[in-house]
Amino acid sequence: MKLKPAGIFIIVAIIAVLAYFALRQNQRDSVQENPTEVSTSPANNDTDSSNNNSKSSTSDAKSEERSFNYTPEKPENGTLRGVVELGATGFNSFIINMDNQKRWEIVSKDFGESLAYEGLATTEDIRAGLKKYIAGMFDKGVAKNNIHFVISSGAQKEPKTILIGNELKKMGYVVNNVTPDQEAKFGFRATVPSSFADNSFMVDIGSGNTKISWNENGSLKTLELPGAKYFEKGTTDTEAYNTVKTLAKKIPADKRNVGFILGGVPFTLAKQHRNDEERYTVLKAPQSYEAADKKMASGLNIYKAIADATQTDTFVFDWDANFTIGFLLSLNK
């Protein structure tokens, strides 16, 4: 039987319709078996991208926490030595065990919590407080001739510090006034491990000033920058940032591997995410922190300026170090 053209057309149309529905069913089956292959519209992609960036930033902030795996050598047959820093608002004290090779370990430390200046109203109060304070060092095994007192460069203009220094001298102690240059060098010696001495730098963000030091051709170079209380002198955040950034650029490019950092503001930052009793805490990027007060905001501004100038991405806070320990390391006896 010979089909007419109209009949052929109808048969082809039926076959095409059946093929279409068969293809649609296969696509549905494929989607059900492979749901991850389903794409979203461009509008949804924009929304998801924004959300994903937000989630990624949060994830990055959490994963930013890193560790600094370094273990200093232990001293052998060491001697207990004590050092007390007379700072702008109180005492920082340290007792270390140090041997004749200048290897040391911390025995006791107090950061500004041991003796506040507010309770020392008269010279009698100062003398009584100092005697009690020094007796505590004796009790820990430190001999009198191994107790040293240092007045930081930022605290030397404080009236209370001068009174305390005078009372210490009357008690037979030597009070050492240190310059910003000395502080920077002492901080480097106490903080930067020998294996990092040739490619890294030290920064100490104090209230009155910030000190930076690095080793160049066998000698220590230093810089003095604004401190975390620069706002009390009428300096704006922008002025401080620009000054710090300009000066920090003087750190040679080959000395920027790690920034070993000290100071009150870095202490506060590291305290937020310290793991147990680790000696070294790697700080997060400056923008990862929120300032609790003006001093902290100013310290973060300084930290950011240094990070921006050097492009250093690893700043390590040392819980045991202080520039005064570097002072002890500089003593011949």
Domains belonging to the chain, first-starting first, are 79-177 (3.30.420.40), 180-330 (3.30.420.150)
Structure tokens that stand for 1 in this block: 């039987």
Structure tokens that stand for 32 in this block: 């059900």
User: Using N-to-C axis directions, what is the helix angle for 123-139 and 159-170, rounded to 10°?
Assistant: 60
From residue 228, alpha-carbon distances to 70, 78, 133, 221, 299 in Å are 29, 36, 28, 22, 5
User: Using N-to-C axis directions, what is the helix angle for 294-310 and 237-248, rounded to 10°?
Assistant: 30
Structure tokens that stand for 7 in this block: 């009949």
From residue 287, alpha-carbon distances to 61, 283, 303 in Å are 10, 11, 10
Instruction: State the pTM of this model.
Output: 0.76
Kindly report the number of other CB atoms within 10 A of residue 91's CB atom. 21
pLDDT at 280: 96
Cα–chain center distance at 21: 66
Kindly report the number of other CB atoms within 10 A of residue 139's CB atom. 8
The pLDDT-based confidence of 76 (bands split at 50, 70, 90) is: very high
Choose among 196, 158, 152: nearest CA to 326.
Answer: 152
Per-residue pLDDT of 136-147, as tens digits, reads 889 999 999 999
Per-residue pLDDT of 197-241, as tens digits, reads 999 999 999 888 999 999 999 999 999 999 999 999 999 999 999
The amino acid that residue 236 corresponds to is: T
Mean pLDDT of the chain: 82
- Is the Cβ–Cβ distance between 225 and 302 less than 8 Å? yes
Element (H, E) at 103: none
The residue-averaged pLDDT of 34-41 equals 29
The pLDDT-based confidence of 37 (bands split at 50, 70, 90) is: very low
The residue-averaged pLDDT of 289-312 equals 97
DSSP 25-64: HHHHHHHHH-GGG----HHHHHHHHHHHHHHHHHHHHHHT
DSSP assignment, residue 199?
T
Structure tokens that stand for 68 in this block: 């600094």
83 forms beta bridges with 94, 148
DSSP 116-175: EGGG--SHHHHHHHHHHHHHHHHHTT--GGGEEEEE-TTTTT-HHHHHHHHHHHHTT--E
pLDDT at 113: 52
Structure tokens that stand for 186 in this block: 């002492």
- SS3 for 302? helix
